[in-house]
A and B are shown apart, each in its own frame.
Chain A
Amino acid sequence: MSPTKSPEPDPQRFEVSKGTLLLDRAMTHLIRVGGLAVILAVFGIFFFILKEIIPLFSKAEVEVEALMEAPGPENSNSNSLALGVDEWGEKPFLYQGGSAITIVDVETGAREILPVPMLEGVEVTAVSSDPVKRRIAVGTADGRVGSFVVTYGAEFDEEGRRTVVPSVEEEPWFEVEEGAGPVRELAYGEGGSRRIVVVARDLGTSLIELRQKRGLIGGEKLTRAGETAVGDQLGSDVSSVVASNNGKEALIATQSGAVYYFLIDGGEAVLKQTFKPFDGDPPVQMDYLFGGVSVAMTDASGDQKIFSLFRPEGSVDRLFGQIKEFAPVGAGLPIFAPSLRNKSFLTGAGGRLSLRHLTSGETRWEGEASFEPVAAAIDGKTEHFFIAGAEGQIQRYTFDDPHPESGWTAFFGKVWYEGGSEPVYQWQSTGGSDDFEPKLSLVPLIIGSLKGTFYALLFSVPVALLAAVFSASFLPHDMKKVVKPAMEIMASLPSVVLGFLAGIWLAPIIEDKIPSILLVCLSLPVAALLMGVIWCRQPMQVRRWLEGGREWMVMVPVVLGVSWAAWSLGPLLERLAFVYEDPATGRAIADFRLWWPQATGLSYDQRNCVVVGFMMGFAVIPVIFTISEDALSNVPKTLTAASSALGASRWQVVRSIIIPVASPGIFSALMIGFGRAVGETMIMVMATGNTPVTEWNIMNGMRTLAANIAVELPEAAPGSTHYRTLFLGALVLFVLTFTLNSVAEILRQRLREKNKLV
Chain B
Amino acid sequence: MPREDFIAVDKFSFFYGEKQALHDIDMAIPQQEVTALIGPSGCGKSTLLRNMNRMNDLIEGVRHRGDIRLNGKSLYDPRIEVISLRKRVGMVFQKYNPFAKTVYENVIFSLRVAGRNKKKELDEVVERSLRSAALWDEVKDRLHDSAFGLSGGQQQRLCIARAIANQPEILLMDEPCAALDPTATLKIESLIRDLKSQFTIVIVTHNMEQASRCSDRTAFLYMGRLVEYGPTKQLFENPSEEDTEAYISGRFS
A residues with CB within 8 A of B: 476-478, 539-541, 544, 548, 636, 638-649, 652, 656-657, 660-661, 754-758
CB of B148 within 8 Å of the partner chain: yes
A540 and B82 CA atoms in complex are apart in Å by: 10
CB of B1 within 8 Å of the partner chain: no
Instruction: Give A509 Cβ to nearest chain B Cβ, in Å.
Output: 41
Instruction: Give B49 Cβ to nearest chain A Cβ, in Å.
Output: 11
Task: Indicate if the CB atoms of A647 and B86 lie closer than 8 Å.
Answer: yes
Q: Which of B60, B90, B109, B110 contacts A478 (CB 8 A)?
A: B60
Chain B residues, CB < 8 A from A647: 83-84, 86-87, 110, 113-114, 166
Task: Indicate if the CB atoms of B109 and A548 lie closer than 8 Å.
Answer: no
Instruction: Give B214 Cβ to nearest chain A Cβ, in Å.
Output: 21
A644 and B109 CA atoms in complex are apart in Å by: 11
Stretch at the interface among B13-21, B23-31, B91-99, B219-227: B91-99
Chain B residues, CB < 8 A from A643: 99, 109, 113
Instruction: Give A364 Cβ to nearest chain B Cβ, in Å.
Output: 60
Which residue in chain A gives the minimum CB-CB distance to B152?
Answer: A758
A660 and B58 CA atoms in complex are apart in Å by: 21
CB of B120 within 8 Å of the partner chain: no
Assess A646 versus B93: contact at CB under 8 Å? Given A478-B60, A540-B81, A656-B109: no
Task: Indicate if the CB atoms of A756 and B148 lie closer than 8 Å.
Answer: yes
Task: Indicate if the CB atoms of A541 and B83 lie closer than 8 Å.
Answer: no
CB of B53 within 8 Å of the partner chain: yes
Task: Indicate if the CB atoms of A652 and B100 lie closer than 8 Å.
Answer: no
Which residue in chain A gives the minimum CB-CB distance to B112?
Answer: A656
Task: Indicate if the CB atoms of B163 and A645 lie closer than 8 Å.
Answer: yes
A544 and B78 CA atoms in complex are apart in Å by: 7
CB of B246 within 8 Å of the partner chain: no
Task: Indicate if the CB atoms of B81 and A646 lie closer than 8 Å.
Answer: no
A379 and B99 CA atoms in complex are apart in Å by: 78
Chain A residues, CB < 8 A from B81: 540
Task: Indicate if the CB atoms of A646 and B100 lie closer than 8 Å.
Answer: no
Assess A646 versus B55: contact at CB under 8 Å? Given A638-B95, A756-B148: no
Which residue in chain B gives the minimum CB-CB distance to A661?
Answer: B100
Of the A-B pairs whose beta carbons lie under 8 Å apart in the complex, a sample of 12, sorted by A's number, is: A540-B80, A639-B97, A639-B99, A641-B58, A642-B93, A644-B58, A646-B163, A646-B166, A647-B87, A648-B83, A648-B113, A652-B113
CB of B145 within 8 Å of the partner chain: no
A540 and B83 CA atoms in complex are apart in Å by: 12
Interface size class of B (residues with CB under 8 A): 20 to 34
Task: Report whether over half of chain A's contact residues are helix, strand or loop; otherwise say mixed.
Answer: helix
Which residue in chain B gives the minimum CB-CB distance to A478?
Answer: B60
Task: Indicate if the CB atoms of B53 and A645 lie closer than 8 Å.
Answer: yes
Convert B72-89 into 0s and 1s, putting 1 for each residue whose CB lies closer than 8 angstroms to a CB of A. 000000111101101101
A399 and B146 CA atoms in complex are apart in Å by: 69
Chain A residues, CB < 8 A from B114: 647
B residues with CB within 8 A of A: 53, 55, 57-58, 60, 78-81, 83-84, 86-87, 89-91, 93, 95, 97, 99-100, 109-110, 112-114, 148, 159, 162-163, 166
Which residue in chain B gives the minimum CB-CB distance to A541?
Answer: B78
User: Which 8 pairs, one residue from A and one from B, show the smallest C-beta to C-beta distance?
Assistant: A647-B87, A645-B91, A638-B97, A646-B110, A648-B113, A755-B100, A652-B113, A647-B86
Which residue in chain A gives the minimum CB-CB distance to B77?
Answer: A540
Q: Which of B57, B78, B91, B148 contacts A758 (CB 8 A)?
A: B148
Assess A648 versus B109: contact at CB under 8 Å? Given A540-B80, A642-B97, A757-B100: yes
Task: Indicate if the CB atoms of A476 and B60 lie closer than 8 Å.
Answer: yes
A476 and B99 CA atoms in complex are apart in Å by: 25
Task: Indicate if the CB atoms of A548 and B57 lie closer than 8 Å.
Answer: yes
Which residue in chain B gives the minimum CB-CB distance to A647?
Answer: B87
Chain A residues, CB < 8 A from B166: 646-647
Task: Indicate if the CB atoms of A541 and B79 lie closer than 8 Å.
Answer: yes
Chain B residues, CB < 8 A from A660: 100
A405 and B45 CA atoms in complex are apart in Å by: 81
Instruction: Give A687 Cβ to nearest chain B Cβ, in Å.
Output: 42
Instruction: Give A13 Cβ to nearest chain B Cβ, in Å.
Output: 35
Which residue in chain A gives the minimum CB-CB distance to B95?
Answer: A638
A244 and B84 CA atoms in complex are apart in Å by: 89
A392 and B148 CA atoms in complex are apart in Å by: 90
Chain A residues, CB < 8 A from B148: 756-758
A541 and B60 CA atoms in complex are apart in Å by: 20
Instruction: Give A44 Cβ to nearest chain B Cβ, in Å.
Output: 42
Task: Indicate if the CB atoms of B162 and A646 lie closer than 8 Å.
Answer: yes
Task: Indicate if the CB atoms of A540 and B79 lie closer than 8 Å.
Answer: yes
Known pairs A642-B91, A656-B109; list 5 more (Cβ under 8 Å).
A642-B99, A644-B55, A646-B109, A661-B100, A757-B148
Which residue in chain A gives the minimum CB-CB distance to B148?
Answer: A758
Which residue in chain B gives the minimum CB-CB distance to A637?
Answer: B58
Instruction: Give A750 Cβ to nearest chain B Cβ, in Å.
Output: 13
Chain B residues, CB < 8 A from A640: 58
Q: Which of B55, B57, B60, B113 contacts A649 (CB 8 A)?
A: B113
A539 and B78 CA atoms in complex are apart in Å by: 9
Instruction: Give A757 Cβ to nearest chain B Cβ, in Å.
Output: 7
Task: Indicate if the CB atoms of A754 and B100 lie closer than 8 Å.
Answer: yes
A643 and B93 CA atoms in complex are apart in Å by: 11
Instruction: Give B216 Cβ to nearest chain A Cβ, in Å.
Output: 23
A656 and B84 CA atoms in complex are apart in Å by: 18
Chain B residues, CB < 8 A from A477: 60
A548 and B57 CA atoms in complex are apart in Å by: 8
A661 and B159 CA atoms in complex are apart in Å by: 18
A754 and B55 CA atoms in complex are apart in Å by: 28
Instruction: Give B24 Cβ to nearest chain A Cβ, in Å.
Output: 25
A657 and B97 CA atoms in complex are apart in Å by: 12
Which residue in chain B gives the minimum CB-CB distance to A653?
Answer: B113
Assess A646 versus B80: contact at CB under 8 Å? Given A548-B57, A641-B93, A657-B99: no
Instruction: Give A313 Cβ to nearest chain B Cβ, in Å.
Output: 58
Task: Indicate if the CB atoms of B83 and A649 lie closer than 8 Å.
Answer: yes
Chain A residues, CB < 8 A from B86: 644-647
Instruction: Give A576 Cβ to nearest chain B Cβ, in Å.
Output: 40
Chain B residues, CB < 8 A from A544: 78
A630 and B175 CA atoms in complex are apart in Å by: 30
A757 and B109 CA atoms in complex are apart in Å by: 17
Chain B residues, CB < 8 A from A755: 100
A656 and B109 CA atoms in complex are apart in Å by: 9
Which residue in chain B gives the minimum CB-CB distance to A547?
Answer: B57
Assess A645 versus B78: contact at CB under 8 Å? Given A656-B113, A661-B100, A756-B148: no
Chain B residues, CB < 8 A from A758: 148
Chain B residues, CB < 8 A from A757: 100, 148
